[in-house]
Structure 1
Amino acid sequence: KTLEAKEEKKKADYERIVDLYKMIDEEEALIKEAKKHLKSARKVKYVKREAVKKIIAAWVITVPAAAVLSAAIYFMIRGIVL
């Protein structure tokens, strides 16, 4: 019988219901904590370290190359004008 169907509802029935709700709350807290850890683990997984290395390498190569090229063009124009 369910609690609604029982004619005589005892204190033990209500205590059992309260215990069940406490267990549900505890399980929800555990699930929430597990999801939080899983989310942080996924974030670390999704960081593509190789892509970051490639971007840094490209900057290290292109910035000095652009500086050398612009200096060469500057001195060529300066030599032509003067």
Structure 2
Amino acid sequence: MKENAKKLGWGFLALLACPCHLVLILPLLAGTTLGAFFTAHQTTASVILGIVFVISILMIFNRVKQAKTDAKHDCCSVPQRK
């Protein structure tokens, strides 16, 4: 359950940090300090959000790959006899 929550969290962060969504996020932040910062430093914000986006996508793929290898090893394990 905890691993699913982590994957969901990284996916949500990837969705918010996607640079193509910056155009949609800016109007929602209008009138706020964060919105003013993003408007004044749009290039810097795009680069930072792009880096966060790439890291979050890599973390999602890493967790999915790890879950597949764990599942693959679970089916092949033989119970030990006492």
Report the TM-score range of the alignment, normalised by the length of the smaller protein: 0.3 to 0.5
TM-score between the two structures when normalised by the length of structure 1:
0.47
Larger Rg: 1
TM-score (norm 2): 0.47
Higher relative contact order (CA 8 A, sep 6+): 2
